[in-house]
Structure 1
């Protein structure tokens, strides 16, 4: 079956044509066909596994990056809170900058 008419190009018919084609194979051709199908299925399984592994790796990397980013953001927020508290208590800006490792410009920009 070299060509399937357009009107019959539906999954149910194409499957029927495939079965009919396989039924007419001699023993050697049938063995080659089975090996080909097995090779295809094996290659597809490898690709599917690699794809799933890649998705999992991407998710794990994203979560790790998110955790690190959140932790750093929290640490920075804490530095600003300490700086604000020190500023409100009258500490010198250069001392606050030295202790918190924030820039003097960032400290000056803090709301009172």
Structure 2
């Protein structure tokens, strides 16, 4: 159980750093993702998969599959726009997908 808690904390901290980076970009006229943002997205995906492996038989697939799909899309956008200026629509999409993933994680199904 200790390993599960450590991985959960790493997952949560990576998510907070990613969300914090998006929030910091909000007031800037030209939004540009840091080149290492893709690593946060990958860290979120890997720790999420590891959490599922650690908790396997009692996994809530109604939460895991949508969140994983959202973070694949988020990581793809981060990979495409890493180090480049973000169009407004892509920035809004990243924010919406990130907030949606956090809401899926918080609410019980």
Provide TM-score, normalisation by structure 1: 0.31
Larger Rg belongs to: 1
Provide TM-score, normalisation by structure 2: 0.31
More helix by share: 1
